[in-house]
């Protein structure tokens, strides 16, 4: 698959992830049962704002190399992919530690149980939404890998990289 196709696949995967995270963010930030949220809910709300910003950074970093009106150099693609990759590394680190961690979701659930049925239902939807983002998140990682591999093949480094030669020896 040509590099531009892989870049477009990454673009779509990033948007699919954004489309999965956005409803969770809206649920936590705007659609909670009460306007005054307990600490675990506010912490999750803040974390979702942060990861959503990281995700937008990843999308924005890729946009310049997908403009069909202007030719792209390999250096531009490398820079865009590196920025996208860095934003996604931060997204994943923050997601794992601050949004999807067992500890964070446990705090949220315990707090909701103490507050009654409306909060319990809300927390159940929130936890399901967080878990629903895992597959799109993984697809972004696969799409990033495909882009790096396509770029390596394009520049001729795929055949001489230590990873490729080690993988070839193992077969």
Count how many domains the chain has.
1
Residue 88 belongs to a domain with what CATH number?
Answer: 1.20.120.230
What pLDDT, on the 0 to 100 scale, is given for residue 2? 85
Residue 126 near residue 40 (C-beta atoms within 8 A) = no
CA 8 to chain centre: 16
User: Which residue range forms the structural domain that includes residue 29?
Assistant: 3-170
What pLDDT, on the 0 to 100 scale, is given for residue 82? 97
What pLDDT, on the 0 to 100 scale, is given for residue 43? 93
What pLDDT, on the 0 to 100 scale, is given for residue 71? 62
Q: What is the pLDDT of residues 139-151, one digit of tens each?
A: 999 999 999 999 9
CA-nearest of 85, 44, 46, 38 to 62 is 85
CA-nearest of 120, 106, 12, 111 to 59 is 12
CA-nearest of 51, 69, 70 to 59 is 51
CA-nearest of 71, 82, 93 to 148 is 82
What pLDDT, on the 0 to 100 scale, is given for residue 124? 96
Per-residue tokens: 24:
């969770």
Residue 147 near residue 21 (C-beta atoms within 8 A) = no
- Which own/partner contact pairs does 34-38 have at CB distance under 8 Å and 24+ positions apart? 38/111, 38/115
Which segments of the chain have a pLDDT < 50? 161, 165, 167-168, 170-171
Helix (H) or strand (E) holding 131: helix 117-132
């Amino acid at each position: 698959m040509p590099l531009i196709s892989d870049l477009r696949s990454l673009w779509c995967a990033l948007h699919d992830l954004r489309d999965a995270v956005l409803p969770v963010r809206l649920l936590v930030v705007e659609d909670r049962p009460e306007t005054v949220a307990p600490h675990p809910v506010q912490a999750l709300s803040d974390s979702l704002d942060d990861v959503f910003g990281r995700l937008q950074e990843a999308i924005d970093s890729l946009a310049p190399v997908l403009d069909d009106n202007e030719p792209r150099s390999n250096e531009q693609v490398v820079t865009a992919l590196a920025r996208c990759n860095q934003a996604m590394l931060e997204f994943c680190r923050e997601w794992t530690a601050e949004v999807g961690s067992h500890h964070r979701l446990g705090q949220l659930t315990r707090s909701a149980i103490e507050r009654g049925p409306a909060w319990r239902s809300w927390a159940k939807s929130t936890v399901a939404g967080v878990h629903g983002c895992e597959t799109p998140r993984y697809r972004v990682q696969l799409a990033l890998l495909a882009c790096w591999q396509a770029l390596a093949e394009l520049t001729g480094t795929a055949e001489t990289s230590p990873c490729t030669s080690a993988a070839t020896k193992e077969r």
